[in-house]
Amino acid sequence: MILTSEKLTADEDDQRIYLGRFAVYVDGVYIGIYDVYLEV
């Protein structure tokens, strides 16, 4: 399984599951808000 934050196109809608919008931190540093999708 691969987590991705890229936006969907219509053709990809059935291949990914929208998980929600998350605040992203890297090494404790706030990066931003991302819409997260799970590739299946």
Q: Which two tokens mark 8?
A: 């969907």
Q: Structural domain boundaries of the chain? A: 2-39
- pTM equals 0.42
CA distance 8 to 13: 6
Q: At 10, is the pLDDT very low, low, confident or very high (cuts 50, 70, 90)?
A: low
One DSSP character per residue, 11-37 reads GGGGGEEEEEEEEEEETTEEEEEEEEE
The better pLDDT of the pair 7, 15 is held by 15
The better pLDDT of the pair 6, 18 is held by 18
